[in-house]
Structure 1
Protein backbone atom coordinates (compact mmCIF):
# COMPACT_ATOMS: atom_id res chain seq x y z
CA UNK A 1 0.00 0.00 0.00
CA UNK A 2 1.49 3.33 -1.12
CA UNK A 3 0.29 6.22 1.03
CA UNK A 4 2.82 8.89 0.05
CA UNK A 5 1.58 12.26 -1.13
CA UNK A 6 2.73 15.81 -1.74
CA UNK A 7 1.69 18.96 0.09
CA UNK A 8 3.11 22.46 -0.51
CA UNK A 9 5.72 20.80 -2.70
CA UNK A 10 6.87 18.66 0.25
CA UNK A 11 7.01 14.87 0.09
CA UNK A 12 4.93 13.31 2.89
CA UNK A 13 4.77 9.64 3.79
CA UNK A 14 0.97 9.86 4.08
CA UNK A 15 -1.78 12.51 3.89
CA UNK A 16 -2.61 12.66 7.63
CA UNK A 17 -1.21 15.82 9.21
CA UNK A 18 -1.34 16.76 12.90
CA UNK A 19 -2.64 20.33 12.92
CA UNK A 20 -1.66 22.98 15.44
CA UNK A 21 -2.67 22.01 18.98
CA UNK A 22 -1.29 21.68 22.52
CA UNK A 23 0.06 18.24 21.53
CA UNK A 24 2.92 19.95 19.69
CA UNK A 25 4.00 22.27 22.51
CA UNK A 26 6.98 20.08 23.42
CA UNK A 27 9.61 18.11 21.55
CA UNK A 28 8.29 14.94 23.19
CA UNK A 29 4.79 15.76 21.93
CA UNK A 30 6.02 16.28 18.37
CA UNK A 31 7.98 13.02 18.59
CA UNK A 32 4.90 11.11 19.78
CA UNK A 33 2.91 12.41 16.82
CA UNK A 34 5.68 11.49 14.37
CA UNK A 35 6.11 8.04 15.92
CA UNK A 36 2.35 7.47 15.61
CA UNK A 37 2.74 7.84 11.85
CA UNK A 38 1.50 11.28 10.81
CA UNK A 39 2.88 12.66 7.57
CA UNK A 40 3.72 16.09 9.03
CA UNK A 41 3.24 18.15 12.18
CA UNK A 42 2.03 21.74 12.36
CA UNK A 43 3.54 23.24 15.49
CA UNK A 44 1.16 24.97 17.89
CA UNK A 45 0.41 28.54 16.82
CA UNK A 46 2.44 31.55 17.84
CA UNK A 47 0.12 34.53 18.23
CA UNK A 48 0.56 37.96 16.71
CA UNK A 49 -0.08 39.43 20.15
CA UNK A 50 2.98 37.61 21.50
CA UNK A 51 5.15 39.05 18.73
CA UNK A 52 3.81 42.54 19.39
CA UNK A 53 4.41 42.23 23.13
CA UNK A 54 7.98 41.05 22.53
CA UNK A 55 8.71 43.95 20.19
CA UNK A 56 7.28 46.48 22.65
CA UNK A 57 9.22 45.02 25.56
CA UNK A 58 12.47 44.93 23.63
CA UNK A 59 11.96 48.56 22.63
CA UNK A 60 11.44 49.55 26.27
CA UNK A 61 14.53 47.63 27.38
CA UNK A 62 16.64 49.14 24.64
CA UNK A 63 15.43 52.63 25.56
CA UNK A 64 16.11 52.05 29.25
CA UNK A 65 19.59 50.81 28.45
CA UNK A 66 20.39 53.73 26.15
CA UNK A 67 19.56 56.18 28.89
CA UNK A 68 22.23 54.62 31.09
CA UNK A 69 25.06 53.64 28.77
CA UNK A 70 25.97 55.08 25.40
CA UNK A 71 27.26 51.74 24.11
CA UNK A 72 23.95 50.06 24.95
CA UNK A 73 22.46 51.18 21.64
CA UNK A 74 24.01 48.02 20.19
CA UNK A 75 23.33 45.91 23.26
CA UNK A 76 20.44 43.42 23.42
CA UNK A 77 19.65 42.68 27.08
CA UNK A 78 20.06 39.03 28.05
CA UNK A 79 16.65 38.96 29.70
CA UNK A 80 14.80 40.30 26.69
CA UNK A 81 14.06 36.99 25.01
CA UNK A 82 15.40 34.19 27.15
CA UNK A 83 12.07 33.17 28.70
CA UNK A 84 9.63 34.78 26.31
CA UNK A 85 7.11 32.93 24.14
CA UNK A 86 8.55 33.71 20.68
CA UNK A 87 12.07 32.76 21.78
CA UNK A 88 10.83 29.48 23.25
CA UNK A 89 8.86 28.81 20.09
CA UNK A 90 11.92 29.08 17.85
CA UNK A 91 13.92 26.88 20.21
CA UNK A 92 11.18 24.25 20.17
CA UNK A 93 10.92 24.46 16.39
CA UNK A 94 14.63 24.01 15.92
CA UNK A 95 14.81 21.03 18.28
CA UNK A 96 11.66 19.36 16.92
CA UNK A 97 12.73 19.73 13.28
CA UNK A 98 16.05 18.10 14.10
CA UNK A 99 14.46 15.32 16.17
CA UNK A 100 11.81 13.87 13.83
CA UNK A 101 11.87 12.58 10.27
CA UNK A 102 8.67 14.29 9.10
CA UNK A 103 8.24 17.94 8.07
CA UNK A 104 7.56 20.35 10.93
CA UNK A 105 5.49 23.35 9.88
CA UNK A 106 5.57 26.62 11.81
CA UNK A 107 2.27 28.38 12.52
CA UNK A 108 1.54 32.07 13.09
CA UNK A 109 -1.93 33.13 14.26
CA UNK A 110 -2.90 36.75 13.68
CA UNK A 111 -5.20 39.19 11.94
CA UNK A 112 -3.22 42.22 10.77
CA UNK A 113 -0.11 42.89 8.66
CA UNK A 114 2.82 43.49 10.97
CA UNK A 115 5.72 41.41 12.22
CA UNK A 116 4.59 38.22 10.48
CA UNK A 117 7.22 38.44 7.76
CA UNK A 118 10.22 38.81 10.03
CA UNK A 119 9.13 36.06 12.33
CA UNK A 120 8.26 33.74 9.47
CA UNK A 121 11.86 34.18 8.33
CA UNK A 122 13.04 33.30 11.84
CA UNK A 123 10.89 30.15 11.70
CA UNK A 124 12.45 29.22 8.37
CA UNK A 125 15.93 29.76 9.79
CA UNK A 126 15.01 27.53 12.75
CA UNK A 127 14.17 24.61 10.50
CA UNK A 128 10.48 25.00 9.58
CA UNK A 129 9.72 23.05 6.41
CA UNK A 130 6.86 25.46 5.68
CA UNK A 131 4.85 28.26 7.29
CA UNK A 132 1.12 28.18 7.99
CA UNK A 133 -0.53 31.59 8.31
CA UNK A 134 -3.62 31.24 10.48
CA UNK A 135 -5.45 34.46 9.65
CA UNK A 136 -7.97 34.53 12.50
CA UNK A 137 -9.98 37.67 11.86
CA UNK A 138 -13.64 38.27 12.60
CA UNK A 139 -14.49 41.65 10.97
CA UNK A 140 -16.99 43.01 13.47
CA UNK A 141 -16.41 46.66 12.53
CA UNK A 142 -19.35 47.70 10.27
CA UNK A 143 -17.08 50.22 8.54
CA UNK A 144 -14.70 47.53 7.24
CA UNK A 145 -15.65 46.36 3.74
CA UNK A 146 -15.37 42.87 2.37
CA UNK A 147 -12.66 43.97 -0.07
CA UNK A 148 -10.68 45.42 2.84
CA UNK A 149 -10.84 42.07 4.62
CA UNK A 150 -9.68 40.27 1.49
CA UNK A 151 -6.84 42.74 0.92
CA UNK A 152 -5.66 42.20 4.48
CA UNK A 153 -5.16 38.50 3.69
CA UNK A 154 -3.37 39.26 0.43
CA UNK A 155 -1.05 41.79 2.12
CA UNK A 156 -0.10 39.26 4.81
CA UNK A 157 0.66 36.61 2.20
CA UNK A 158 2.72 39.03 0.08
CA UNK A 159 4.78 40.15 3.07
CA UNK A 160 5.56 36.63 4.20
CA UNK A 161 6.26 35.32 0.70
CA UNK A 162 8.79 38.12 0.20
CA UNK A 163 10.56 37.14 3.42
CA UNK A 164 10.87 33.36 3.09
CA UNK A 165 11.73 30.73 0.53
CA UNK A 166 9.92 27.82 2.19
CA UNK A 167 6.30 27.14 1.16
CA UNK A 168 3.51 29.21 2.71
CA UNK A 169 -0.02 27.99 3.43
CA UNK A 170 -2.98 30.14 4.45
CA UNK A 171 -5.63 28.89 6.87
CA UNK A 172 -8.90 30.57 5.90
CA UNK A 173 -12.28 31.15 7.44
CA UNK A 174 -15.35 30.01 5.46
CA UNK A 175 -17.06 33.38 5.59
CA UNK A 176 -15.90 35.18 2.46
CA UNK A 177 -18.70 36.38 0.21
CA UNK A 178 -17.01 34.66 -2.75
CA UNK A 179 -14.80 31.92 -1.32
CA UNK A 180 -13.75 30.51 -4.68
CA UNK A 181 -12.63 33.91 -5.96
CA UNK A 182 -10.70 34.57 -2.76
CA UNK A 183 -9.01 31.19 -3.10
CA UNK A 184 -8.02 32.07 -6.67
CA UNK A 185 -6.64 35.47 -5.62
CA UNK A 186 -4.55 33.91 -2.86
CA UNK A 187 -3.35 31.29 -5.33
CA UNK A 188 -2.30 34.02 -7.78
CA UNK A 189 -0.65 35.95 -4.93
CA UNK A 190 1.70 33.03 -4.35
CA UNK A 191 0.10 31.03 -1.55
CA UNK A 192 1.44 27.49 -1.86
CA UNK A 193 -1.51 25.98 -0.03
CA UNK A 194 -4.93 26.72 1.44
CA UNK A 195 -6.18 25.14 4.64
CA UNK A 196 -9.99 24.90 4.73
CA UNK A 197 -11.31 25.97 7.20
CA UNK A 198 -10.50 27.78 10.41
CA UNK A 199 -13.04 27.44 13.23
CA UNK A 200 -14.03 30.60 15.05
CA UNK A 201 -14.26 29.67 18.73
CA UNK A 202 -17.63 31.29 19.23
CA UNK A 203 -18.42 32.17 22.85
CA UNK A 204 -21.55 31.09 24.68
CA UNK A 205 -23.59 32.94 27.30
CA UNK A 206 -24.28 31.69 30.82
CA UNK A 207 -27.69 33.21 31.73
CA UNK A 208 -27.33 32.33 35.42
CA UNK A 209 -23.88 33.86 35.90
CA UNK A 210 -24.65 36.65 33.39
CA UNK A 211 -21.29 35.99 31.84
CA UNK A 212 -19.77 35.23 28.46
CA UNK A 213 -18.28 31.74 28.39
CA UNK A 214 -15.31 31.12 26.07
CA UNK A 215 -15.98 28.54 23.37
CA UNK A 216 -13.21 25.96 23.06
CA UNK A 217 -15.06 22.79 22.04
CA UNK A 218 -13.44 20.19 19.83
CA UNK A 219 -14.88 19.79 16.35
CA UNK A 220 -17.44 17.11 15.43
CA UNK A 221 -17.75 15.02 12.28
CA UNK A 222 -20.81 16.91 10.99
CA UNK A 223 -18.68 20.07 10.77
CA UNK A 224 -16.70 18.48 7.94
CA UNK A 225 -19.43 19.06 5.36
CA UNK A 226 -18.70 22.74 4.68
CA UNK A 227 -14.94 22.37 4.10
CA UNK A 228 -15.59 19.16 2.16
CA UNK A 229 -17.92 21.04 -0.18
CA UNK A 230 -15.29 23.67 -0.92
CA UNK A 231 -12.50 21.12 -1.30
CA UNK A 232 -14.61 19.34 -3.92
CA UNK A 233 -15.32 22.63 -5.71
CA UNK A 234 -11.71 23.87 -5.72
CA UNK A 235 -9.91 20.60 -6.54
CA UNK A 236 -8.18 20.86 -9.90
CA UNK A 237 -8.85 24.58 -10.23
CA UNK A 238 -5.86 25.97 -8.31
CA UNK A 239 -2.10 25.50 -8.32
CA UNK A 240 -2.08 25.70 -4.50
CA UNK A 241 -2.33 22.55 -2.41
CA UNK A 242 -5.58 21.95 -0.56
CA UNK A 243 -5.55 20.88 3.08
CA UNK A 244 -8.80 19.84 4.74
CA UNK A 245 -9.41 20.43 8.41
CA UNK A 246 -12.32 20.44 10.89
CA UNK A 247 -14.57 17.52 11.82
CA UNK A 248 -11.97 14.78 11.35
CA UNK A 249 -12.89 12.14 13.93
CA UNK A 250 -11.59 8.99 12.30
CA UNK A 251 -10.64 7.13 9.14
CA UNK A 252 -14.05 7.82 7.58
CA UNK A 253 -13.53 11.59 7.48
CA UNK A 254 -9.95 11.13 6.28
CA UNK A 255 -11.20 9.06 3.35
CA UNK A 256 -14.09 11.39 2.53
CA UNK A 257 -11.86 14.46 2.39
CA UNK A 258 -9.44 12.66 0.06
CA UNK A 259 -12.32 11.59 -2.18
CA UNK A 260 -13.34 15.25 -2.33
CA UNK A 261 -9.85 16.17 -3.54
CA UNK A 262 -7.78 17.18 -0.50
CA UNK A 263 -4.01 16.82 -0.80
CA UNK A 264 -3.75 16.29 2.97
CA UNK A 265 -6.18 16.00 5.87
CA UNK A 266 -5.39 17.74 9.15
CA UNK A 267 -6.74 16.87 12.56
CA UNK A 268 -6.30 18.08 16.11
CA UNK A 269 -9.59 17.15 17.79
CA UNK A 270 -9.30 13.40 17.17
CA UNK A 271 -5.73 13.33 18.47
CA UNK A 272 -6.67 15.41 21.52
CA UNK A 273 -9.62 13.11 22.26
CA UNK A 274 -7.83 9.81 21.81
CA UNK A 275 -4.11 10.63 22.08
CA UNK A 276 -1.34 10.78 19.47
CA UNK A 277 -1.42 7.01 18.89
CA UNK A 278 -4.85 7.41 17.33
CA UNK A 279 -3.11 8.58 14.17
CA UNK A 280 -2.06 4.98 13.54
CA UNK A 281 -5.66 3.81 14.05
CA UNK A 282 -6.89 6.29 11.45
CA UNK A 283 -4.25 5.29 8.93
CA UNK A 284 -4.93 1.59 9.49
CA UNK A 285 -8.63 2.22 8.88
CA UNK A 286 -7.87 4.00 5.62
CA UNK A 287 -5.60 1.15 4.50
CA UNK A 288 -8.30 -1.44 5.21
CA UNK A 289 -10.77 0.60 3.17
CA UNK A 290 -8.28 0.92 0.31
CA UNK A 291 -7.69 -2.84 0.22
CA UNK A 292 -11.43 -3.46 0.26
CA UNK A 293 -11.93 -1.08 -2.69
CA UNK A 294 -8.89 -2.31 -4.61
CA UNK A 295 -6.89 0.93 -4.38
CA UNK A 296 -3.12 0.73 -4.00
CA UNK A 297 -2.21 4.44 -3.91
CA UNK A 298 -3.78 7.64 -2.62
CA UNK A 299 -3.92 9.02 -6.16
CA UNK A 300 -6.14 6.09 -7.19
CA UNK A 301 -9.07 7.72 -5.43
CA UNK A 302 -8.09 11.30 -4.57
CA UNK A 303 -10.65 13.69 -6.07
CA UNK A 304 -12.85 10.87 -7.31
CA UNK A 305 -15.92 12.72 -6.01
CA UNK A 306 -14.71 16.28 -6.68
CA UNK A 307 -16.74 18.53 -8.94
CA UNK A 308 -15.36 17.99 -12.47
CA UNK A 309 -13.28 20.91 -13.71
CA UNK A 310 -15.48 21.37 -16.77
CA UNK A 311 -18.70 21.38 -14.72
CA UNK A 312 -20.84 24.40 -13.91
CA UNK A 313 -20.02 24.69 -10.21
CA UNK A 314 -23.02 26.86 -9.35
CA UNK A 315 -25.49 24.61 -11.15
CA UNK A 316 -23.95 21.54 -9.52
CA UNK A 317 -24.28 22.97 -6.02
CA UNK A 318 -27.82 24.19 -6.73
CA UNK A 319 -28.77 20.74 -7.98
CA UNK A 320 -27.32 19.07 -4.88
CA UNK A 321 -29.21 21.54 -2.68
CA UNK A 322 -32.55 20.94 -4.37
CA UNK A 323 -32.04 17.17 -4.34
CA UNK A 324 -31.29 17.22 -0.62
CA UNK A 325 -34.46 19.18 0.11
CA UNK A 326 -36.60 16.87 -2.01
CA UNK A 327 -35.21 13.84 -0.20
CA UNK A 328 -35.93 15.48 3.14
CA UNK A 329 -39.50 16.15 2.03
CA UNK A 330 -39.97 12.58 0.78
CA UNK A 331 -40.35 13.60 -2.86
CA UNK A 332 -38.96 11.68 -5.77
CA UNK A 333 -35.57 12.99 -6.84
CA UNK A 334 -35.22 14.02 -10.44
CA UNK A 335 -32.24 13.21 -12.68
CA UNK A 336 -29.99 16.03 -11.48
Structure 2
Protein backbone atom coordinates (compact mmCIF):
# COMPACT_ATOMS: atom_id res chain seq x y z
CA UNK A 1 0.00 0.00 0.00
CA UNK A 2 1.34 3.43 -0.94
CA UNK A 3 1.86 5.85 1.97
CA UNK A 4 -0.67 8.65 2.42
CA UNK A 5 0.75 11.89 0.98
CA UNK A 6 0.15 14.86 3.27
CA UNK A 7 2.07 17.57 1.40
CA UNK A 8 2.63 17.57 -2.35
CA UNK A 9 4.62 20.42 -3.91
CA UNK A 10 4.91 20.51 -7.70
CA UNK A 11 6.97 23.00 -9.71
CA UNK A 12 7.04 25.63 -6.96
CA UNK A 13 8.61 28.87 -8.21
CA UNK A 14 8.99 31.94 -5.98
CA UNK A 15 9.84 35.27 -7.59
CA UNK A 16 10.71 38.77 -6.44
CA UNK A 17 9.95 41.57 -8.92
CA UNK A 18 12.61 44.33 -8.92
CA UNK A 19 13.36 47.44 -10.94
CA UNK A 20 15.83 45.45 -12.99
CA UNK A 21 13.62 42.44 -13.67
CA UNK A 22 12.47 39.27 -11.92
CA UNK A 23 14.63 37.44 -9.38
CA UNK A 24 13.84 33.72 -9.02
CA UNK A 25 14.53 32.59 -5.45
CA UNK A 26 12.89 29.13 -5.60
CA UNK A 27 13.05 27.50 -9.02
CA UNK A 28 10.72 24.65 -10.04
CA UNK A 29 10.93 22.76 -6.74
CA UNK A 30 8.94 19.52 -6.36
CA UNK A 31 8.69 17.10 -3.44
CA UNK A 32 6.17 15.31 -1.25
CA UNK A 33 5.93 14.34 2.41
CA UNK A 34 4.03 11.25 3.57
CA UNK A 35 2.06 10.92 6.79
CA UNK A 36 4.40 10.62 9.78
CA UNK A 37 7.46 11.32 7.63
CA UNK A 38 10.20 13.85 8.41
CA UNK A 39 11.67 15.42 5.28
CA UNK A 40 14.86 17.38 5.82
CA UNK A 41 15.57 20.37 3.59
CA UNK A 42 19.25 21.29 3.70
CA UNK A 43 21.63 23.72 2.03
CA UNK A 44 23.73 26.83 2.58
CA UNK A 45 22.26 30.21 3.47
CA UNK A 46 20.51 31.58 0.39
CA UNK A 47 19.59 28.16 -0.99
CA UNK A 48 15.85 28.88 -0.73
CA UNK A 49 15.02 26.61 2.22
CA UNK A 50 13.11 29.08 4.37
CA UNK A 51 11.41 30.69 1.37
CA UNK A 52 10.06 27.29 0.37
CA UNK A 53 8.60 26.82 3.86
CA UNK A 54 7.19 30.36 3.87
CA UNK A 55 5.55 29.80 0.48
CA UNK A 56 3.84 26.64 1.72
CA UNK A 57 2.28 28.35 4.74
CA UNK A 58 1.56 31.63 2.95
CA UNK A 59 4.10 33.79 4.79
CA UNK A 60 6.06 35.21 1.87
CA UNK A 61 7.01 38.84 2.44
CA UNK A 62 5.87 41.17 -0.38
CA UNK A 63 6.87 41.61 -3.13
CA UNK A 64 7.72 37.89 -3.01
CA UNK A 65 5.10 35.74 -4.71
CA UNK A 66 4.39 32.19 -5.82
CA UNK A 67 4.71 32.62 -9.58
CA UNK A 68 4.21 29.01 -10.65
CA UNK A 69 3.46 25.58 -9.30
CA UNK A 70 0.98 23.88 -7.01
CA UNK A 71 0.96 23.18 -3.26
CA UNK A 72 -1.51 20.57 -2.09
CA UNK A 73 -2.32 19.50 1.46
CA UNK A 74 -3.97 16.07 1.44
CA UNK A 75 -5.00 16.69 -2.15
CA UNK A 76 -6.47 20.15 -1.51
CA UNK A 77 -4.75 22.99 -3.30
CA UNK A 78 -3.64 25.66 -0.79
CA UNK A 79 -1.29 27.96 -2.73
CA UNK A 80 -4.14 30.27 -3.75
CA UNK A 81 -5.65 30.73 -0.28
CA UNK A 82 -5.97 34.21 1.21
CA UNK A 83 -7.70 36.02 4.07
CA UNK A 84 -9.79 33.91 6.41
CA UNK A 85 -9.16 30.68 4.50
CA UNK A 86 -5.40 31.15 4.93
CA UNK A 87 -5.79 32.03 8.61
CA UNK A 88 -7.72 28.81 9.20
CA UNK A 89 -4.96 26.84 7.49
CA UNK A 90 -2.18 28.21 9.71
CA UNK A 91 -2.05 26.49 13.04
CA UNK A 92 -5.11 24.33 12.39
CA UNK A 93 -3.70 22.24 9.54
CA UNK A 94 -0.11 23.50 9.23
CA UNK A 95 1.97 24.41 12.29
CA UNK A 96 5.17 26.46 12.22
CA UNK A 97 8.26 26.33 14.46
CA UNK A 98 10.70 29.20 13.97
CA UNK A 99 14.41 29.36 14.78
CA UNK A 100 14.15 31.92 17.60
CA UNK A 101 11.35 31.05 20.06
CA UNK A 102 11.36 34.59 21.47
CA UNK A 103 9.95 35.87 18.16
CA UNK A 104 7.07 33.38 18.44
CA UNK A 105 6.12 34.04 22.07
CA UNK A 106 4.47 37.17 23.47
CA UNK A 107 6.51 38.33 26.49
CA UNK A 108 3.41 39.95 28.07
CA UNK A 109 1.40 36.73 28.40
CA UNK A 110 2.06 33.48 30.23
CA UNK A 111 2.77 30.46 28.11
CA UNK A 112 -0.48 28.99 29.37
CA UNK A 113 -2.48 31.98 28.14
CA UNK A 114 -0.84 31.74 24.73
CA UNK A 115 -1.49 28.01 24.44
CA UNK A 116 -5.10 28.36 25.60
CA UNK A 117 -5.71 31.21 23.14
CA UNK A 118 -4.33 29.15 20.26
CA UNK A 119 -6.35 26.09 21.24
CA UNK A 120 -9.57 28.10 21.67
CA UNK A 121 -9.08 29.83 18.31
CA UNK A 122 -8.88 26.55 16.42
CA UNK A 123 -11.18 24.54 18.68
CA UNK A 124 -14.06 26.88 19.64
CA UNK A 125 -16.09 23.84 20.67
CA UNK A 126 -13.87 23.31 23.73
CA UNK A 127 -14.80 24.86 27.08
CA UNK A 128 -12.31 27.07 28.92
CA UNK A 129 -11.46 24.25 31.33
CA UNK A 130 -11.01 21.75 28.50
CA UNK A 131 -8.70 24.17 26.65
CA UNK A 132 -6.67 24.61 29.82
CA UNK A 133 -6.36 20.85 30.26
CA UNK A 134 -5.31 20.54 26.63
CA UNK A 135 -2.63 23.22 27.18
CA UNK A 136 -1.32 21.38 30.24
CA UNK A 137 -1.28 18.09 28.33
CA UNK A 138 0.76 19.68 25.54
CA UNK A 139 3.38 21.01 27.97
CA UNK A 140 3.67 17.53 29.48
CA UNK A 141 3.94 15.98 25.99
CA UNK A 142 6.86 18.22 25.02
CA UNK A 143 8.70 17.48 28.26
CA UNK A 144 8.24 20.66 30.33
CA UNK A 145 9.02 19.72 33.96
CA UNK A 146 6.45 20.72 36.62
CA UNK A 147 4.12 21.60 33.74
CA UNK A 148 1.19 22.51 36.00
CA UNK A 149 3.20 25.27 37.65
CA UNK A 150 5.00 26.41 34.47
CA UNK A 151 1.64 26.98 32.79
CA UNK A 152 1.54 30.32 34.61
CA UNK A 153 5.14 31.31 33.85
CA UNK A 154 6.21 33.94 31.32
CA UNK A 155 8.55 33.20 28.37
CA UNK A 156 11.50 34.98 30.02
CA UNK A 157 11.27 32.52 32.91
CA UNK A 158 12.13 29.61 30.58
CA UNK A 159 15.53 28.59 29.22
CA UNK A 160 16.11 28.66 25.45
CA UNK A 161 15.49 24.93 25.15
CA UNK A 162 12.31 25.11 27.22
CA UNK A 163 11.02 28.03 25.15
CA UNK A 164 11.57 26.00 21.99
CA UNK A 165 9.56 23.16 23.56
CA UNK A 166 6.74 25.64 24.23
CA UNK A 167 6.86 26.79 20.59
CA UNK A 168 6.60 23.16 19.47
CA UNK A 169 3.62 22.75 21.80
CA UNK A 170 2.02 25.81 20.17
CA UNK A 171 2.64 24.36 16.72
CA UNK A 172 0.94 21.12 17.78
CA UNK A 173 -1.92 22.76 19.68
CA UNK A 174 -4.54 22.20 16.96
CA UNK A 175 -3.13 18.77 15.96
CA UNK A 176 -2.01 19.89 12.48
CA UNK A 177 -1.30 17.44 9.68
CA UNK A 178 2.00 19.16 8.86
CA UNK A 179 4.62 21.03 10.90
CA UNK A 180 7.23 23.21 9.19
CA UNK A 181 10.24 23.53 11.50
CA UNK A 182 12.63 26.26 10.31
CA UNK A 183 16.06 25.82 11.95
CA UNK A 184 14.46 24.80 15.28
CA UNK A 185 17.75 23.75 16.93
CA UNK A 186 20.26 26.28 15.56
CA UNK A 187 20.25 28.56 18.63
CA UNK A 188 20.49 25.68 21.11
CA UNK A 189 23.50 23.95 22.63
CA UNK A 190 24.32 20.41 21.56
CA UNK A 191 22.68 18.58 24.47
CA UNK A 192 19.42 20.56 24.21
CA UNK A 193 19.52 20.16 20.42
CA UNK A 194 19.59 16.39 20.87
CA UNK A 195 16.56 16.59 23.17
CA UNK A 196 14.57 18.65 20.65
CA UNK A 197 15.50 16.22 17.86
CA UNK A 198 14.32 13.27 19.96
CA UNK A 199 11.12 15.16 20.78
CA UNK A 200 10.30 15.79 17.10
CA UNK A 201 10.90 12.16 16.21
CA UNK A 202 8.73 10.91 19.08
CA UNK A 203 5.85 13.25 18.27
CA UNK A 204 5.89 12.18 14.61
CA UNK A 205 5.86 8.51 15.59
CA UNK A 206 3.07 8.94 18.14
CA UNK A 207 0.83 11.42 16.32
CA UNK A 208 1.52 10.63 12.67
CA UNK A 209 2.41 14.29 12.12
CA UNK A 210 4.42 15.08 8.98
CA UNK A 211 7.39 17.42 9.38
CA UNK A 212 9.36 19.56 6.97
CA UNK A 213 12.62 20.20 8.83
CA UNK A 214 14.64 23.10 7.42
CA UNK A 215 18.28 23.21 8.50
CA UNK A 216 21.85 23.77 7.35
CA UNK A 217 23.12 21.00 9.64
CA UNK A 218 23.64 17.59 8.03
CA UNK A 219 24.14 16.10 11.50
CA UNK A 220 20.59 17.09 12.47
CA UNK A 221 19.32 15.63 9.18
CA UNK A 222 21.11 12.33 9.85
CA UNK A 223 19.67 12.05 13.35
CA UNK A 224 16.13 13.13 12.59
CA UNK A 225 14.90 12.67 9.03
CA UNK A 226 13.57 9.88 6.85
CA UNK A 227 14.43 11.61 3.57
CA UNK A 228 16.42 14.69 2.64
CA UNK A 229 16.19 17.28 -0.15
CA UNK A 230 19.41 19.19 -0.87
CA UNK A 231 18.80 22.72 -2.20
CA UNK A 232 21.25 24.90 -4.09
CA UNK A 233 20.42 28.33 -5.57
CA UNK A 234 16.70 27.65 -5.20
CA UNK A 235 16.80 24.25 -6.91
CA UNK A 236 16.69 20.70 -5.58
CA UNK A 237 19.98 19.10 -6.64
CA UNK A 238 19.48 15.79 -4.81
CA UNK A 239 16.67 14.08 -2.93
CA UNK A 240 16.38 10.61 -1.44
CA UNK A 241 16.45 8.47 1.72
CA UNK A 242 18.74 9.97 4.36
CA UNK A 243 21.05 6.96 4.71
CA UNK A 244 21.68 6.78 0.97
CA UNK A 245 22.21 10.51 0.47
CA UNK A 246 24.61 10.70 3.41
CA UNK A 247 26.62 7.56 2.70
CA UNK A 248 26.37 7.51 -1.11
CA UNK A 249 25.81 11.11 -2.27
CA UNK A 250 25.53 11.59 -6.03
CA UNK A 251 25.66 15.34 -6.61
CA UNK A 252 29.04 17.11 -6.23
CA UNK A 253 27.43 19.69 -3.92
CA UNK A 254 26.09 16.99 -1.60
CA UNK A 255 29.48 15.26 -1.70
CA UNK A 256 31.06 18.56 -0.66
CA UNK A 257 28.58 19.06 2.20
CA UNK A 258 29.31 15.57 3.52
CA UNK A 259 33.06 16.07 3.17
CA UNK A 260 32.84 19.17 5.35
CA UNK A 261 31.58 17.16 8.34
CA UNK A 262 34.33 16.01 10.76
CA UNK A 263 34.62 12.21 11.09
CA UNK A 264 34.52 10.77 14.60
CA UNK A 265 37.53 8.56 13.88
CA UNK A 266 39.57 11.65 13.02
CA UNK A 267 41.35 9.96 10.11
CA UNK A 268 41.02 12.98 7.80
CA UNK A 269 43.82 15.54 8.08
CA UNK A 270 41.68 18.25 6.50
CA UNK A 271 38.00 18.72 5.82
CA UNK A 272 36.73 19.17 2.28
CA UNK A 273 36.10 22.79 1.37
CA UNK A 274 33.65 23.84 -1.34
CA UNK A 275 35.31 26.78 -3.13
CA UNK A 276 33.39 29.99 -3.75
CA UNK A 277 29.96 30.84 -2.40
CA UNK A 278 26.26 30.62 -3.22
CA UNK A 279 25.45 32.86 -6.23
CA UNK A 280 23.34 35.98 -5.82
CA UNK A 281 19.78 35.74 -7.14
CA UNK A 282 20.69 38.28 -9.79
CA UNK A 283 23.67 36.24 -10.96
CA UNK A 284 22.62 32.58 -11.01
CA UNK A 285 24.71 30.93 -13.74
CA UNK A 286 23.22 29.43 -16.86
CA UNK A 287 23.18 25.64 -16.98
CA UNK A 288 23.97 23.95 -13.68
CA UNK A 289 23.97 26.65 -10.99
CA UNK A 290 26.75 24.82 -9.12
CA UNK A 291 29.17 24.60 -12.05
CA UNK A 292 31.45 27.56 -11.06
CA UNK A 293 32.28 25.73 -7.80
CA UNK A 294 32.44 22.19 -9.17
CA UNK A 295 35.59 20.24 -10.02
CA UNK A 296 33.68 18.11 -12.56
CA UNK A 297 32.42 21.00 -14.70
CA UNK A 298 32.18 20.36 -18.42
CA UNK A 299 30.83 22.50 -21.26
CA UNK A 300 27.48 20.75 -20.94
CA UNK A 301 27.29 21.86 -17.29
CA UNK A 302 27.87 25.45 -18.39
CA UNK A 303 25.35 25.40 -21.22
CA UNK A 304 22.48 23.16 -20.10
CA UNK A 305 20.55 22.84 -16.87
CA UNK A 306 20.37 19.22 -15.63
CA UNK A 307 17.02 17.84 -14.49
CA UNK A 308 16.48 15.52 -11.55
CA UNK A 309 17.27 12.00 -12.72
CA UNK A 310 16.87 8.70 -10.90
CA UNK A 311 20.11 7.88 -9.08
CA UNK A 312 20.28 4.93 -6.71
CA UNK A 313 17.20 5.08 -4.46
CA UNK A 314 16.79 8.83 -4.99
CA UNK A 315 17.29 11.50 -7.65
CA UNK A 316 20.01 14.00 -8.50
CA UNK A 317 20.40 16.85 -11.00
CA UNK A 318 23.88 16.42 -12.42
CA UNK A 319 25.35 15.63 -15.86
CA UNK A 320 28.06 13.44 -14.33
CA UNK A 321 26.25 10.93 -12.14
CA UNK A 322 27.84 7.50 -12.12
CA UNK A 323 26.00 5.54 -14.90
CA UNK A 324 25.80 2.54 -12.58
CA UNK A 325 23.52 4.56 -10.28
CA UNK A 326 21.18 5.69 -13.06
CA UNK A 327 20.90 2.30 -14.71
CA UNK A 328 22.55 3.62 -17.87
CA UNK A 329 25.60 1.48 -17.28
CA UNK A 330 23.74 -1.81 -17.04
Whether TM-score is above 0.5 comes out as no
Query: Greater relative contact order (Cα 8 A, min sep 6): structure 1 or 2?
Result: 2
| TM range, smaller chain | 0.3 to 0.5
TM-score (norm 1): 0.35
Higher helix content, 1 or 2: 1
Higher strand content, 1 or 2: 2
TM-score (norm 2): 0.36
Structure with greater Cα Rg: 1
